[in-house]
């Protein structure tokens, strides 16, 4: 993994941290300095510290919006005395300013955090329900000696915390607290078990005992020496299922445009990933149309990673987008995985190493953007989450007596099948989840495919000792929603795996000064998708039907009708083979500790190595493989971050 250019240890990137004493002591500069020194050095716009009485806040500045340039944090309210550290971006500034009336007029050019603080003064804790965007916020109320932490529903801005009964600490990333507060380093084996099982479901745990995550869409208050936590993002989500297909398309187009306009608000030039897939191509093509129509102020760049000769090369598709738009994308190549660089990353950040397939598409992109002075990268992340669709809405149609709609959906879904096959599938998928709890659980908790026993690569005795099965079954949505479809879709908001799969990648791009933004995860668009008809998401056996219809004329037809999807497997096989050559599976720390069956891990990888040895031709082996990387990643983390 390449090392980013750094502006010096005294500056960081887009992060917050702080501490509060609850035992009567005043906060000291020495403790804040310890947190600051421990934080991961990144760059670029300086650090601000504030402390008064029992509390202290730190803001590591990195301006990615025009209003954030030159801002001074924390924000302090002249009205209430509340002090706010704000990490993130608000995408509904105009709405919030209108809600504030005359006061809002004076804040039109203000940083996003100043607007959030004004709303907090008016509404208290409920202010967060008005915010749309990507944020993690800390508010200290000196009059009440109370700290409030909140996160946006997607949780792209992480927030971890710890409390030993006398000092409460919080930060964007774990190193600030683990090292800065001198936490005792103890492993949280149950959380590690979830990770190694390839089913990470905990909403609050980290791999460290005593270090907790604030879940997406949640809030935490520290008051009178006690911690209280609640989930503020609870809906309701309007049922849109009776809208016509044309109305779905029109509403989606409106909200997608709104998301693109919001996420292209940038203090610097910006680019969008262009893989050639349906999602990233939609972002590039529609943003370009909006710019040419005068609705987006600047042309966004397109940046693409290409892998000539490899099965995951998508040049054919990204080139079609370039030709269609009359643009030239910036091209970067493959980046070989380095075990030594990955180990150094774990040691310096306490994060998991990046998966080789993620590094392959990200390393060159981040380095190129940094060299070009860009700070924002748009992605197609979220298209698979919100738009691929499923059959989870069929039981809702059956339960509510919309049997005609169910029958119509069934025959549309399988147009090439005999009528008796479609009818049988309608009964199975439509009525089965209503009468068979196991069927219903499979829709809502896909991790339960392991039933009541550990997967074969884990040590069954260890899995039982850490209560792994109980943890899987304890996974529950933090909200009560109507219908199976909404329950299933809300899993995107409450996706615990984001902590282990996505946060290292976000931290990696941040180390280059790059903020990732995801238009498909815009909160207003996602709220619409929560209630959208499942029949327009997956129709005629075609995933992302709604997106394909909405992008007619915007995408080149070659891409709009594409049904294939690149699998970034080849270079991951190479990286894993190198790691297993350095340390055979039976010698990995997870095997030595009795957590995994090393022989089974080696056996699982062997099938993929044979596929690679045969020239990466033919179908990719259809068997579990993710746990092989998870075991190797945990091995590097244990050795270099935890230093076992």
Structural domain count, the chain: 4
For helices 626-637 and 339-349, the axis angle rounded to 10 degrees is 60
Q: Which of 526, 560, 594 delimits the end of a domain? A: 560
| Residue 3 falls inside a structural domain | no
| Residue 395 falls inside a structural domain | yes
| Residue 24 falls inside a structural domain | yes
- Asked if 213 and 272 sit in the same domain, the reply is no
- Asked if 202 and 253 sit in the same domain, the reply is no
Helices and strands per DSSP (H, E), number in the chain: 29, 19
Name the β-bridge partners of 146: 141, 223
Alpha-helix residue ranges (DSSP H) falling in 264-402: 278-292, 315-325, 339-349, 356-371, 383-387, 394-399
Please say whether the beta carbons of 131 and 90 come within 8 A.
Answer: yes
- Asked if 221 and 112 sit in the same domain, the reply is yes
- Asked if 159 and 89 sit in the same domain, the reply is yes
Please say whether the beta carbons of 240 and 531 come within 8 A.
Answer: yes
Distance in angstroms (rounded) separating the CA atoms of residues 587 and 605: 15
Distance in angstroms (rounded) separating the CA atoms of residues 432 and 394: 10
pLDDT at 447: 66
Q: Report helix, strand or coil for 596.
A: strand
Q: Report helix, strand or coil for 15.
A: strand
| Residue 8 falls inside a structural domain | no
Name the β-bridge partners of 161: 170, 212
C-beta neighbour count of 506 within 10 angstroms: 18
Any idea what the CATH number is for the domain that residue 157 is in? 3.60.20.10
CA distances from 623 to 189, 605, 620 (A): 26, 10, 9
Which residues have a Cβ under 8 Å from the Cβ of 412 and sit 6 or more positions away? 535, 539, 540
Which is nearest to 271 in space by CA: 134, 358, 364, 135?
364
As a dihedral over the C-alpha atoms of residue 437, residue 443, residue 448, residue 450, rounded to 10 degrees, the angle is 100
What's the first-to-final CA gap in the chain, in angstroms?
22
pLDDT at 311: 87
Distance in angstroms (rounded) separating the CA atoms of residues 363 and 352: 16
Which is nearest to 507 in space by CA: 273, 340, 343, 351?
351
Distance in angstroms (rounded) separating the CA atoms of residues 567 and 383: 16
- Asked if 116 and 220 sit in the same domain, the reply is yes
pLDDT at 364: 95
Kind and range of the H or E element at 250?
Answer: helix 245-263
For helices 570-582 and 626-637, the axis angle rounded to 10 degrees is 50
Residues across the chain: 644
- Asked if 433 and 516 sit in the same domain, the reply is no
Q: Which of 231, 260, 289 delimits the end of a domain? A: 231
Distance in angstroms (rounded) separating the CA atoms of residues 510 and 531: 33
The alpha carbon of residue 243 and the mean position of all alpha carbons in its chain are separated, in whole angstroms, by 30
As a dihedral over the C-alpha atoms of residue 353, residue 495, residue 526, residue 503, rounded to 10 degrees, the angle is -20
- Asked if 623 and 555 sit in the same domain, the reply is no
- Asked if 223 and 353 sit in the same domain, the reply is no
In the sheet that holds 15-21, the strands lie side by side as 47-52, 55-60, 15-21, 167-171, 160-163, 212-213
Which residues have a Cβ under 8 Å from the Cβ of 424 and sit 6 or more positions away? none
Which residues have a Cβ under 8 Å from the Cβ of 60 and sit 6 or more positions away? 11, 12, 13, 14, 15, 16, 17, 39, 42, 47, 172
Joined together, the tokens standing for residue 470 give 């109980």
For helices 570-582 and 598-613, the axis angle rounded to 10 degrees is 130
| Residue 61 falls inside a structural domain | yes
What is the Rg, in whole angstroms, of the alpha carbon atoms belonging to the chain? 25
Which residues have a Cβ under 8 Å from the Cβ of 314 and sit 6 or more positions away? 275, 276, 277, 304, 306, 566
Please say whether the beta carbons of 485 and 393 come within 8 A.
Answer: yes
β-bridge pairing 301-305 and 330-332 = parallel
| Verdict on whether the full-model pTM lies above 0.85 | yes
- What burial class does residue 481 get, using C-beta atoms within 10 Å of its C-beta: 0-12 exposed, 13-18 middle, 19+ buried? middle
- Asked if 254 and 364 sit in the same domain, the reply is yes
Spell out, as residue ranges, where the chain has pLDDT lower than 70: 1-13, 42-43, 447-452
The alpha carbon of residue 274 and the mean position of all alpha carbons in its chain are separated, in whole angstroms, by 19
Q: Which domain holds residue 290?
A: 245-382+498-560
| Residue 205 falls inside a structural domain | yes
C-beta neighbour count of 449 within 10 angstroms: 11
| Residue 7 falls inside a structural domain | no
Which is nearest to 197 in space by CA: 540, 497, 637, 407?
497
CA distances from 71 to 9, 61, 169, 460, 478 (A): 21, 9, 24, 54, 35
| Residue 9 falls inside a structural domain | no
Distance in angstroms (rounded) separating the CA atoms of residues 638 and 630: 12
CA distances from 294 to 267, 280, 290 (A): 18, 21, 6
Which is nearest to 257 in space by CA: 232, 207, 293?
293
pLDDT at 42: 58
- Asked if 114 and 163 sit in the same domain, the reply is yes
Q: Which of 509, 529, 560 delimits the end of a domain? A: 560
Please say whether the beta carbons of 123 and 130 come within 8 A.
Answer: yes
- Asked if 59 and 192 sit in the same domain, the reply is yes
Please say whether the beta carbons of 536 and 409 come within 8 A.
Answer: no
Q: Report helix, strand or coil for 96.
A: helix
Please say whether the beta carbons of 532 and 241 come within 8 A.
Answer: yes
Question: In the block, which residue shows the tokens 């075991």?
Answer: 631
Which residues have a Cβ under 8 Å from the Cβ of 65 and sit 6 or more positions away? 89, 111, 112, 265, 266, 267
- Asked if 122 and 204 sit in the same domain, the reply is yes
Dmax (CA) of the chain: 75
Any idea what the CATH number is for the domain that residue 364 is in? 3.40.50.620
β-bridge pairing 75-76 and 83-90 = antiparallel
pLDDT at 483: 92
As a dihedral over the C-alpha atoms of residue 412, residue 414, residue 420, residue 421, rounded to 10 degrees, the angle is -150
Q: What is the DSSP letter of 187?
A: B
Sign of CA dihedral 572, 578, 583, 585: positive
DSSP string, 199-225: ----SSB-SBTT-EEPPTTEEEEEETT
């Amino acid at each position: 993994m390449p090392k980013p250019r750094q502006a010096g240890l005294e500056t960081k990137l887009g992060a917050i941290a702080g501490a509060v004493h609850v035992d009567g002591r005043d906060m000291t500069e020495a403790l804040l300095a310890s947190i600051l020194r421990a934080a991961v050095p990144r760059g670029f716009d300086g650090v601000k510290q504030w402390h008064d009485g029992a509390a202290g806040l730190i803001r590591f500045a990195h301006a990615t919006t025009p209003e954030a340039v030159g801002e001074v944090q924390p924000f302090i309210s002249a009205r209430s005395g509340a002090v706010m550290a704000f990490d993130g971006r608000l995408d509904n500034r105009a709405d919030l300013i209108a809600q504030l009336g005359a006061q809002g007029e004076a804040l039109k050019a203000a940083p996003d955090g100043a607007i959030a603080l004004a709303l907090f003064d008016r509404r208290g804790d409920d202010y967060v329900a008005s915010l749309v965007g990507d944020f993690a916020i800390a508010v200290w109320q000196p009059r009440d000696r109370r700290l409030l932490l909140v996160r946006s529903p997607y949780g792209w801005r992480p927030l971890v915390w710890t409390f030993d009964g006398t000092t409460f600490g919080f930060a964007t990333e774990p190193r600030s607290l683990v090292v800065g507060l001198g936490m005792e380093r103890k492993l949280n084996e149950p959380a590690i078990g979830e990770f190694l099982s390839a089913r990470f479901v905990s909403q609050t745990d980290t791999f460290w005992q005593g270090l907790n995550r604030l879940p997406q869409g949640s809030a935490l208050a520290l008051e009178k020496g006690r911690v209280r936590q609640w989930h503020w993002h609870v809906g309701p989500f309007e049922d849109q299922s009776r809208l016509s297909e044309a109305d779905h398309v029109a509403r989606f187009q409106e909200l997608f445009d709104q998301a693109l306009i919001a996420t292209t608000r940038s203090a610097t030039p910006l680019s969008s990933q262009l893989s050639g897939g349906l999602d990233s191509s939609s972002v590039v093509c529609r943003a370009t149309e909006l710019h040419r129509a005068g609705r987006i102020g600047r042309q966004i760049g397109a940046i693409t990673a290409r892998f000539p000769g490899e099965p995951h090369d998508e040049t054919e598709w990204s080139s079609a987008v370039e030709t269609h738009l009359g643009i030239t994308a910036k091209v970067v190549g493959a980046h070989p995985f380095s075990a030594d660089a990955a180990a150094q990353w774990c040691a310096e950040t306490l994060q998991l190493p990046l998966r080789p397939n993620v590094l392959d598409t990200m390393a060159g992109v981040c380095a190129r953007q940094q060299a070009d002075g860009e700070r924002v990268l748009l992605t197609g992340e979220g298209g698979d989450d919100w738009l691929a669709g499923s059959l989870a809405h069929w039981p809702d149609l059956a339960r509510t007596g919309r049997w005609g709609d169910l029958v119509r959906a069934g025959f549309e879904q399988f147009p090439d099948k005999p009528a008796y096959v479609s009818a049988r599938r309608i009964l199975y998928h439509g009525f089965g989840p209503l009468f068979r709890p196991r069927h219903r659980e499979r829709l809502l908790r896909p991790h339960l495919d392991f039933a009541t026993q550990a997967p074969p690569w884990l040590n069954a005795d260890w899995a039982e000792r850490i209560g792994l099965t109980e943890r899987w079954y304890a996974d529950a949505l933090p909200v009560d929603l109507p219908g199976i479809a909404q329950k299933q879709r809300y899993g995107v908001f409450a996706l615990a795996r984001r902590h282990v799969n996505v946060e290292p990648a976000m931290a990696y791009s941040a180390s280059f000064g790059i903020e990732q933004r995801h238009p498909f995860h815009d909160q207003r668009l996602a709220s619409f998708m929560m209630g959208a008809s499942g029949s327009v998401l997956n129709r005629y056996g075609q995933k992302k039907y709604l997106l394909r219809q909405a992008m007619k004329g915007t995408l080149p037809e070659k891409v709009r009708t594409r049904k294939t999807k690149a699998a970034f497997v080849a270079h991951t096989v190479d990286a894993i083979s190198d790691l297993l050559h350095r340390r055979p599976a039976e010698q990995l720390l997870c095997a030595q500790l009795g957590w995994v069956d090393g022989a089974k891990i080696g056996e699982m990888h062997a099938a993929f190595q044979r596929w690679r040895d045969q020239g990466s031709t033919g179908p990719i082996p259809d068997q579990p493989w993710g746990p092989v990387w998870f075991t190797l990643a945990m091995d590097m983390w244990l050795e270099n971050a935890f230093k076992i």
